[in-house]
Structure 1
Amino acid sequence: MIDVRSRYLADTVATAAPARLLTMLFDRLLLDLARGEESLRTGERPQATQHLAHGQEILAQLMADLNTSVWDGGEQLLSIYSYALSQLIDASRVGDADRVATCRELLAPIGEAWHQAADALATDVPTQRTASTAPSAGLGVLGVG
């Protein structure tokens, strides 16, 4: 039986707007890196490997979904993602918590920028017209009588 929390999370992800989904993925990426780093520092290699592998999967998906042709910074962002992924793979292989921390510090400002962009998009969404701004002379909202 699926618990209420799992169902809520699944529904939230399934109904999230693309910008919100991106921020959710980035938040989880940073959480995985923080948990992986902490696990490495406390000598819990199996848990660290699990967290870092999940973070690597998210980063690989972000790379796959990035359309570099729609904005000038796309290629540079892809390069940052690629560098971080290679560093995380190596950090996981050798158990280097400092390298994981460096990747997290590199990616955190990008996550913040994605949050700011998503917030800006959310505030730019037009709202439903109020009665005072609706077309007059018997026309409906779509301009059809």
Structure 2
Amino acid sequence: MNAALRAQQRYREETILSASPSRLVTLLFDRLLLDVERGEAAQRSGDWQTANEQLQHAQRILVELTGSLDDSWSGSAALRAVYDYITRTLIGANIGRDPERTRECRDLIAPLREAWHGAAEAAPA
């Protein structure tokens, strides 16, 4: 690995290690949306290996997001149900090689991402 790549990797690690909990959630949502968009693009081009990798990574992010829910929050059960639905739909889209189902997930994730970004910006530092 050359010096520039090592510097980029170190920067990413520092960003994650120093991030607040709300910033971590927004980073996860940013990557989740990117993975789903890349997965859909790969499906549409017939690149099934890349689609599989992207959609499986998105599923791992959803597992992390689900695990981070605080059951003392009244909205956690509903949000968990949404995360579970997206996960199941991504699995089906991946197995069925169905970019329309992947697009459905993208359309659910995008407003959630925006909502988490808005909440993070409104939260005290």
**One-letter identity of the residue aligned with 1:29:** L
How far the C-alpha of 1:31 sits from its partner, in A, is 0.2
CA contact (8 A) 1:33 1:51 kept: yes
State the alpha-carbon separation in 2 of the partners of residues 27 and 66 from structure 1.
18
How far the C-alpha of 1:74 sits from its partner, in A, is 1.4
> What per-residue deviation string (whole Å, max 9, x for no partner) do you get for residues 23-72 of structure 1?
000000000000000000000000000000000000011111111322x2
Residue 24 (structure 1) aligned with residue 27 (structure 2): yes
- TM-score normalised by structure 2 residue count: 0.93
- For 1:109, the equivalent position in structure 2 comes to 111
| Bigger radius of gyration | 1
Residue 73 (structure 1) aligned with residue 75 (structure 2): yes
Aligned residues: 122
Gaps of 5+ in 1: 126-145
**One-letter identity of the residue aligned with 2:81:** S
**One-letter identity of the residue aligned with 2:58:** G
> What per-residue deviation string (whole Å, max 9, x for no partner) do you get for residues 108-142 of structure 1?
11111100000011xx34xxxxxxxxxxxxxxxxx
Higher helix share: 2
Question: Larger RCO: Structure 1 or Structure 2 (Cα < 8 Å, ≥ 6 residues apart)?
Answer: 2
**One-letter identity of the residue aligned with 1:35:** R
Percent identical residues: 43
Residue 44 (structure 1) aligned with residue 47 (structure 2): yes
- TM-score normalised by structure 1 residue count: 0.81
- For 1:136, the equivalent position in structure 2 comes to none
CA contact (8 A) 1:32 1:54 kept: yes
CA contact (8 A) 1:68 1:78 kept: no
Gaps of 5+ in 2: none
> What per-residue deviation string (whole Å, max 9, x for no partner) do you get for residues 77-132 of structure 1?
111000000000111111111101101101111111100000011xx34xxxxxxx
Residue 13 (structure 1) aligned with residue 19 (structure 2): no
